[in-house]
Structure 1
Amino acid sequence: MTDLIALRRRLHRQPELALRLPETRAVLLEALAPLGLRVRDSDASSSFAVVVPGARPGPTVLLRADMDGLPVAEESGVAFASTNGNMHACGHDLHMAALVGAVHRLAGRREEFEGDVLAVFQAGEEGAGGAELMIAEKVLLTTGRKPLASFGVHVLSFAESGVFHCREGAVMGATVNFDLEVVGRGGHAARPHTALDPISTAALIVQGIQTFVAQNSSPADPIVVTVGSLRAGTAANVIPDSALLKVSLRATSSAMARDAYRKITGIGSAIAKAYGLRMTSEVGPDLGPTVSDREGAALVRETVADLYGDGRYRELTVPEMISEDFSLFLEETGGAFVLVGAAVAGSPHPPATNHSSRARFDDAVVPDVANLLAELAVRRLNIASKTNGTAC
């Protein structure tokens, strides 16, 4: 059996970005090679899938791990930190190691289930459209049967280590990312009255966005909007022609996210017009919420309790406003998404969050996540076999 923590740390040292992850893919295939499983490659990316067949033919359950890192220079201080300018700051290295472990466990349990487990290693989760590409390549039909359920996990650097979280409904939020460009007229810093300053107007738009959020977001149905970038100008004594805002908007439903986008662009345009400037907008990635269905959420709850006791499971009350393109798999197949606490003991309070250059993850959770994924697949296939091979 592969040492999953050692595998996670090896993956952590060499994060790659977006859709092309040749070193990551090679390490994973090396870890899976002793099992002799069928591998299906993607033509559009470094993604791939492996099939674990059960004792007899039957339906399919999908398990998924994301593979890509982030363009973040690591400052975590761990001995196995990346030095290539990228970082597994979102914990995808833990996800990959856990899925490798689940595949190894399932390969040793083939007599316990009918059907197939499709293990998907997906590139390009961090905004590069990896799930959409795999679905377009018909990965869901790899075994000849569309999966009757999909399961995935995501570690959280800021939540209690070893505690699993899920709920029926939205586990993660919907996201709309967009750019706002404020177009004015450049000039000399000593003569601002002859220019139309896009920076000061952009600052007012940022304030307008946050005022909108304060007046429209409730704890039970939140809206979260972050201006992650404001780029403008090259020198202190030059008023530039334009300023560019990069904005991430999150809500509990796609309808709410799109409505908030329309209102925010309306506010921004009105502010710009009031000062004699204009504002344009361009929408980027748009993801729906990551939704667990009733059966999937119940199976997660029961399985965690059976494996680790009731104290290791907590029901989410509201979604995390992180977004996930695993939502696309769930839209196609149903299933569930599980959040896993992985805060390192003794971390500063509050711990650095996912995507921080200082994020740290307790990789002691990896074997437990591997066990959970394998058990979810076996139990879901056995539920199907009791209903004559059809989904419940």
Structure 2
Amino acid sequence: MDDLVALRRTLHATAEVGLHLPATQAIVRDAIAGLGLDTTLGQELSSVTAVLRGARPGPVVLLRADMDALPIAEATGLPYASTNGAMHACGHDMHMAGLVGAARILGARRDELPGTVVFMFQPGEEGYAGGRLMIEEGVLDAAGRRPVAAYAIHVDCVLGAGEFVTRAGPIMASASGLNIRVEGTGGHAAYPYQAVDPVPVAAEIVLALQTFVTRRVPVTDPAVVSVVRLHSDSNAPNVLPSSVAIDLNIRTLSRETLRLVREELGRLVAGLAAAHGCTARTEFIDSYPVTHNDPAETAAVLDLLGDRVRQLPAPAMASEDFGYVLEEVPGALLFLGARPAGVPAADAPPMHSERAAFDDAVLSIQAQTLAELAWRRLAQETAT
């Protein structure tokens, strides 16, 4: 446990953003050195894939941790706080340390291990689709055959320490984007009737988006459409712009709703623009899929954790690129509470906050749970 806490704090102080994390990658490699793992490094990203082959024959199970931080200036005041403008405000330092712990637990029992475990250390979760890139580079085939199951634990700094939550089916939403450019002609701000001003058209589009969601999308299969950026090409106080850009973030829980939003939003935007003499160009940006927990694998998680786990009544509308893995391999994502001791839930800074803090004490729970999930799944497959 002392080693895992020290590792987590080293990773926290060495936060790196994106797909290329050379310092983080080196720390992870050193942490698993000596365990007898077959280790490969990514080509297009600073990933680490480590394969533990048990002495007994059996299937393959994959365990995953993400590695990247966020571009946030840390304000926790912790003695091991990052000072480089990047911060592990989503707990990925905890994920790496917990997975290293699981590798050490399982590695110590290699002679009894009935199969193979792939440890997937993945950069680029925070919007860079690192999971998809690692799949393209062969992480699912690293052991010579596909895993029969995949598991990941995500810590949460508001949930009570040691408490698990999960659910079968969709647990986190897909994430997509729609970039809109409304084009008019621009002109003098004193003579708007001589121009085709795209600003009021953009304003109508923003308002129409709210009605679109409530009137076109079923409440039983929801969508969230948020305007995240709005700007014009005018840099002068007396000039009407010739174009306005609107960027949307779209969250859905099914392919059907995503298809509806993608197709009908484009028509809505084009129609509103045309009604005012403008044109509109749209670009859809497909990103993370829905994170979908396999019902059977989720049942195994619930059986293992018993009264330590609570089932979520509804999915979260945030996204997680472990969804790419779960599109290919049945498995489950679960959340583990890591709120620091003595901090009421109402006072705990949320994930992605510059003050987000996590309790090191749950690292042992995380490592043990990942190791036990892998062990049970391998033993189950071997027994059948």
Whether the TM-score (by the shorter chain) exceeds 0.5 is yes
1:346 and 1:103, CA in 2 relative to 1: closer, same or farther beyond 3 A?
same
Give the % identical residues.
44
In structure 2, C-alpha distance between the alignment counterparts of 1:234 and 1:377, rounded to whole Å: 57
* SS of corresponding position for 2:251: strand
Q: How many residues are aligned here?
A: 382
- Asked whether 1:289 is paired with 2:290, we answer yes
Post-superposition offset of 1:87: 2.3
Q: Which runs of 5+ in 2 are unaligned?
A: none
1:148 and 1:231, CA in 2 relative to 1: closer, same or farther beyond 3 A?
same
1:355 and 1:240, CA in 2 relative to 1: closer, same or farther beyond 3 A?
farther
* SS of corresponding position for 1:132: helix
- Asked whether 1:134 is paired with 2:134, we answer yes
In structure 2, C-alpha distance between the alignment counterparts of 1:123 and 1:129, rounded to whole Å: 9
1:42 and 1:222, CA in 2 relative to 1: closer, same or farther beyond 3 A?
same
The answer to whether the 8 A contact 2:177-2:247 is kept is yes
Give the alignment partner of residue 381 of structure 2, picking from 377, 384, 387.
Answer: 384
In structure 2, C-alpha distance between the alignment counterparts of 1:320 and 1:283, rounded to whole Å: 22
* SS of corresponding position for 2:34: helix
The answer to whether the 8 A contact 1:175-1:254 is kept is no
Post-superposition offset of 1:189: 2.9
- Asked whether 1:369 is paired with 2:369, we answer no
Q: Which amino acid in structure 2 is aligned with residue 164 of structure 1?
A: F
1:237 and 1:325, CA in 2 relative to 1: closer, same or farther beyond 3 A?
same
Report the equivalent of 1:317. Answer: 313
The answer to whether the 8 A contact 1:220-1:318 is kept is no
Report the equivalent of 2:59. Answer: 59
In structure 2, C-alpha distance between the alignment counterparts of 1:2 and 1:355, rounded to whole Å: 26
Post-superposition offset of 1:154: 1.8
Q: Which amino acid in structure 1 is aligned with residue 277 of structure 2?
A: G
Post-superposition offset of 1:118: 0.4
Post-superposition offset of 1:28: 0.9
Q: Which amino acid in structure 2 is aligned with residue 318 of structure 1?
A: A
The answer to whether the 8 A contact 1:2-1:31 is kept is no
TM-score, length-normalised on structure 1? Answer: 0.90
Report the equivalent of 1:273. Answer: 274
- Asked whether 1:34 is paired with 2:63, we answer no
Post-superposition offset of 1:350: 6.5
Report the equivalent of 1:328. Answer: 324
> Which moved further from structure 2: 181-190 or 372-381?
181-190
Q: Which amino acid in structure 2 is aligned with residue 35 of structure 1?
A: L
The answer to whether the 8 A contact 1:2-1:101 is kept is no
Q: Show CA shifts across 1:32-82 (max 9, x none).
A: 113242211122211121112223122110001111122233334444332
**What RMSD in Å do the two structures reach over aligned CA positions?**
2.2
* SS of corresponding position for 1:118: strand
In structure 2, C-alpha distance between the alignment counterparts of 1:180 and 1:347, rounded to whole Å: 42
* SS of corresponding position for 1:27: helix
Report the equivalent of 1:86. Answer: 86
1:380 and 1:221, CA in 2 relative to 1: closer, same or farther beyond 3 A?
same
Report the equivalent of 1:200. Answer: 200
Post-superposition offset of 1:170: 0.9
Q: Which runs of 5+ in 1 are unaligned?
A: 388-392
1:236 and 1:70, CA in 2 relative to 1: closer, same or farther beyond 3 A?
farther
In structure 1, C-alpha distance between the alignment counterparts of 2:6 and 2:199, rounded to whole Å: 48
The answer to whether the 8 A contact 1:112-1:378 is kept is no
In structure 1, C-alpha distance between the alignment counterparts of 2:39 and 2:242, rounded to whole Å: 52
In structure 2, C-alpha distance between the alignment counterparts of 1:285 and 1:330, rounded to whole Å: 17
- Asked whether 1:256 is paired with 2:253, we answer no
Q: Show CA shifts across 1:330-365 (max 9, x none).
A: 121211111223334536737443333343333332
Q: Which amino acid in structure 1 is aligned with residue 370 of structure 2?
A: L
TM-score, length-normalised on structure 2? Answer: 0.92
In structure 1, C-alpha distance between the alignment counterparts of 2:46 and 2:372, rounded to whole Å: 27
Post-superposition offset of 1:244: 1.9
* SS of corresponding position for 1:35: coil
* SS of corresponding position for 1:3: helix
The answer to whether the 8 A contact 1:174-1:250 is kept is yes
> Which moved further from structure 2: 258-267 or 350-359?
350-359
1:356 and 1:225, CA in 2 relative to 1: closer, same or farther beyond 3 A?
farther
1:234 and 1:90, CA in 2 relative to 1: closer, same or farther beyond 3 A?
farther
* SS of corresponding position for 1:200: helix
> Which moved further from structure 2: 197-206 or 324-333?
197-206
